[in-house]
Amino acid sequence: MRSAAGRAGLLRAALRSGPPRTSSGSPCSSLTRGVPAFPALVNVLLGCVSLRVYISIAWSRLIEGGNDPDLVTCLIPSAMACVPPWFVSSRTTHRNDDDHGLILPAFMPRALLSLLCLYLATGIAHAQEIQNGLSYRSAGKPRYFRVNYENDLAFGTDYYFTQGAHFEYVFRASGSKLETALFPFFTKYRRYTGIGLESAGYTPTTIFADSILYGDRPFAGMAYLKAFSIGYNAIRRERYASTLTLGWMGPAAGGYEIQAAIHRRTGNADPSGWKYQIGNAIILNYELNYERALLLCKGFLLSGTGMLRGGTYSIKAALGSVLMAGWFENPFQPPGPRNKTQAYLYVYPQIDLVGYDATLQGGLFTANSPYTISSRDITRTVFRCDGGVRAGYRGIWLSAYVRYLTREFDTGREHATAGLELALPL
């Protein structure tokens, strides 16, 4: 195994000499030859995820203990151990004619993504549901990085969902065996693959009650990795997306440790209600999304959408519609050299038919939660609606949006949040 100094030397040599070549002439790192980009990214992200519980505890100790050099010293080698040898060896990114993105060394997107995922792994962020395969969220580039941030402060509320962040990195599908095994659908269409890491948290109307708030939403914390694939059929004006979600929920997600440490640091009361959170359970979900244009003309789009989801985390089906108006390019065309300025308004209403929701009912195959919402009290039909404005120039996108959700259980409340989105081509 190479030492840290050896890896750094190899990185400097790679940057000086330019991209090594395979026998076919394509740029490829000597250490990553035969290792597709998709498994490589999975490896890095799983390394970050594996530190999730450890970092939650360590972060609490750092908050409590101040600048503890011994703890900091033990954190650094633990994080470095998760970085595989090929991570620091790299090539310069080969720029295709239709990329028109930033020219960066190939390790840069991975490094940036890993650092952001490590930040997410601390559990500070709580993310809402993101439908990243729909037309109104099109980035128009074959490779990009995107971040979303949401907060309900704009509506004067602080319950159910308070703030959240979602990070994702999308790139061309490599056609590897792992990729095909994870996403066996829509293989005959041009596809792009992405990876994201989210940390979701749910709370009742108050986090300070020292007893179970019956009839209110239970505390629930979770952390999960998402791998997804987006396909395009320009002739039929259709988009397809499949998503695999893998992670865990419950105390192992570290929701209480992080929130309690922050409250101690800021002088606020301890969020004692977390002792009644949903119990530990595995998250394993698979989701299919479909969208087809019903009316597409210059400056206007009306499409129909459908979604099926199953697993231990969420079981639901959904029907919806996307309405866009403004200046935009055809979102059903595969990403390419699109550099025109785009700006449009959109509305995305959707009706969910809910079969199971682990954030309310606990793990599908576990019974270790002190309090859950009874199945008979779950609202089986939920309406949600997203609306906002997006503007893009040469693959750089900015968006502001609002999200509305009707009550999810009989004694629950409707809820709304506002968010911002930034997408950058790579």
User: pLDDT by residue (tens digit) across 229-287?
Assistant: 999 999 999 999 999 999 999 998 887 887 787 778 878 788 888 999 999 999 999 99
pLDDT of residue 13: 52
Q: Are 324 and 136 in contact (CB under 8 A)?
A: yes
Q: Are 241 and 228 in contact (CB under 8 A)?
A: yes
Q: Are 409 and 373 in contact (CB under 8 A)?
A: yes
- According to CATH, the topology of domain 4-425 is Lipocalin (2.40.128)
With residue 12 as reference, give the H or E element that holds it.
helix 4-17
Q: Are 142 and 336 in contact (CB under 8 A)?
A: yes
Assess whether pLDDT exceeds 90 at residue 371. Answer: yes
**Mean pLDDT computed over 208-220:** 92
Q: Are 348 and 387 in contact (CB under 8 A)?
A: yes
- For the segment 48-72, what is each residue's pLDDT rounded down to a tens digit? 444 444 444 444 444 444 444 444 4
- For the segment 85-106, what is each residue's pLDDT rounded down to a tens digit? 433 333 444 444 444 433 333 4
Question: 207: pLDDT confidence band, cut at 50, 70 and 90?
Answer: confident
Rounded to two decimals, what is the model's pTM? 0.73
The domain limits of the chain are 4-425
CA-CA distance, 34 to 99, in Å (whole number)? 23
Q: DSSP state, 141? A: S
pLDDT of residue 163: 64
